[in-house]
């Protein structure tokens, strides 16, 4: 199975990083990481909340190979606090349980981050009026749900090649045409055996890739995401979106995607962008659709013209 090449694992060096559990489930902690630029020591700072990808089945908030340098540099540019959080993973948990983690994480940022910073001896304070969410792939899906869930709290959403239409054929029907990064067809038995071995009450909150990615590939190839996530409408972006009022204040949306993405269909991001704009207005969002594979932004720069176009509206909504 082929994956994108590894990134420079030193990219976290400009930050002081602390780890903290934001909730406990079945006696197991679910953690977040607070990244503060080493060159800031005082003052009120904006916030970036980050959700990692991995098909909702794999991934780790601090896996450096998936930490895009442009995103870290964007944080440094604005002297922001970054919260990179883990959450329960499929198939040990379901979509509603993941959504519960997202709600609790957002509540923790609103209610507990300031006290936590004091407790660790920091003299910076969080600006709760300047909060954005960012995620890639499955993390993009979670970020979109977050923005729709707390539109008064979250000022902008950056969704990088997000999973969107969970009930589409891509996620809900078996097909031999799905081979992300050239992955061969994998037997369903891999996932079935894993599920059969799950101990009642056990949860998984992180997995360093490529661990568990074969489970995600099987879920994709066999069209099992709807079954694994669950059928609740609160987990379907298009159904949450349609219930929103056209006049409701919503986060600014920046969505980008590689046209050659073999893991998550680019055309679905294009369609979601159209639906968002139809609901909230042409100026409520921007999309950038560039040549490239899943994760193509891994070595992108803040100086790239397409990235500058996308982030201009984000920065305005976030910082002013």
Whether 70 shows a pLDDT value over 70: the answer reads: yes
pLDDT surpasses 90 at 1:
no
Write out the two tokens for 60. 């780790």
Residue 261, Cβ density class (10 Å: 0-12 exposed, 13-18 middle, ≥19 buried): buried
Q: Which residue reads 């379901």 in tokens?
A: 94
Within-domain flag for 41: yes
pLDDT score recorded for residue 14: 97
- Averaged pLDDT for residues 228-248: 95
Whether residue 8 is contained in a domain is answered as no
Position of tokens 């060159």?
39
| Residue 213 and residue 245 in contact, taking contact as beta carbons nearer than 8 Å | no
CA distances to 17, 22, 72, 79, 228 from 44, rounded to whole Å, are 18, 22, 19, 10, 41
Q: What is the mean pLDDT of residues 61-70?
A: 96
- 192 assigned to some structural domain: yes
Q: What is the pLDDT of residue 3?
A: 39
4 inside domain: no
Q: What is the pLDDT of residue 247?
A: 82
Predicted pLDDT at 5: 45
- List pLDDT tens digits, range 148-187: 999 999 999 999 999 999 999 999 999 999 999 999 999 9
- The number of domains in the chain is 1
C-beta atoms surrounding 117 within 10 Å: 19
Q: What is the CATH number of the domain that holds 24?
A: 3.40.50.1820
Strand partners, 44: 125
Residue 6 has pLDDT above 60, yes or no: no
Instruction: Write out the DSSP string of 234-262.
Output: GG-HHHHHHTS-TTS---EEEEEEETT-S
List, for residues 7-54, the tens digit of each pLDDT value: 556 899 999 999 999 999 999 999 999 999 999 999 999 999 999 999
pLDDT score of 21? 98
Query: What does DSSP say about strands 285-290 and 156-160: parallel, antiparallel, or unpaired?
Result: unpaired
Regarding predicted confidence, which is higher, 169 or 246? 169
At 318 the three-state DSSP class reads helix
pTM for this predicted structure: 0.96
Decide if 97 is inside a domain: yes
Evaluate if residue 112 carries a pLDDT over 80: yes
Distance between CA atoms of 227 and 35, rounded to whole angstroms? 35
Structural domain range at position 171: 15-318
Give the pLDDT score at 165: 98
Would you give the DSSP letter of residue 6?
P
Question: 46 exposed, middle or buried (CB, 10 Å; 0-12, 13-18, 19+)?
Answer: buried
User: Is pLDDT at 246 greater than 60 in this prediction?
Assistant: yes
Rounded CA-CA distance 172/219 in Å is: 9
- Determine, yes or no, domain membership for 7: no
Alpha helices in the chain (DSSP H): 69-77, 95-119, 138-149, 169-172, 189-196, 213-221, 225-229, 237-242, 266-280, 305-318
Query: 59 to each of 55, 294, 308, 319, how far by Cα in Å?
Result: 8, 15, 28, 30
Nearest to 276 by CA among 264, 285, 265, 266: 285
Chain centre distance of CA 19: 18
Identify whether 5 is part of a domain. no
User: How confident is residue 2, by pLDDT bands cut at 50, 70 and 90?
Assistant: very low
Within-domain flag for 99: yes
For CA atoms 287, 290, 293, 298, the dihedral sign is: negative
Confidence (pLDDT) at 299:
84
């Amino acid at each position: 199975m082929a994956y994108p090449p590894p990134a420079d694992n030193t990219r976290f060096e400009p930050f002081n990083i602390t780890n903290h559990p934001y909730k406990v489930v079945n006696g197991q902690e679910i953690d977040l990481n607070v990244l503060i630029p080493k060159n800031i020591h005082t003052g009120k700072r904006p916030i970036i909340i980050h959700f990692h990808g991995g098909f909702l089945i794999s991934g780790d908030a601090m896996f450096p190979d998936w930490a895009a340098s442009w995103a870290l540099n964007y944080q440094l540019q604005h002297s922001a606090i970054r919260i990179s959080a883990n959450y329960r993973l499929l198939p040990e948990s379901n979509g509603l349980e993941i959504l519960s983690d997202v709600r609790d994480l957002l509540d923790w940022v609103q209610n507990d981050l300031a006290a936590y910073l004091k407790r660790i001896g920091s003299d910076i304070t969080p600006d709760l009026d300047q909060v954005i969410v960012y995620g890639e792939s499955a993390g993009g899906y979670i970020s979109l749900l977050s923005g729709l869930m707390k539109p008064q709290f979250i000022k902008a959403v950056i969704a990088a090649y997000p999973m969107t239409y969970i009930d589409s054929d891509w996620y809900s029907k078996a097909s031999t045409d799905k081979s992300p990064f050239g992955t061969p067809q994998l037997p369903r038995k891999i996932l079935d055996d894993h599920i059969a071995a799950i101990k009642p009450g056990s949860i998984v909150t992180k997995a360093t890739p490529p661990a568990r990615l074969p489970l995600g590939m099987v879920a994709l190839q066999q069209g099992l995401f709807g079954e694994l996530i669950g059928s609740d409408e609160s987990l379907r972006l298009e159904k949450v979106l349609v219930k929103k009022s056209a006049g409701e204040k919503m986060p600014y949306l920046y969505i980008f995607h590689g046209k050659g993405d073999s893991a998550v269909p680019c055309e679905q991001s294009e369609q979601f962008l159209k639906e968002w704009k139809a609901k909230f207005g042409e100026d409520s969002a921007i999309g950038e659709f560039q040549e490239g594979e899943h994760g193509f932004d891994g070595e992108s720069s803040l100086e790239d013209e397409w990235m500058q176009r996308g982030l201009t509206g984000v920065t305005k909504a976030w910082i002013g």
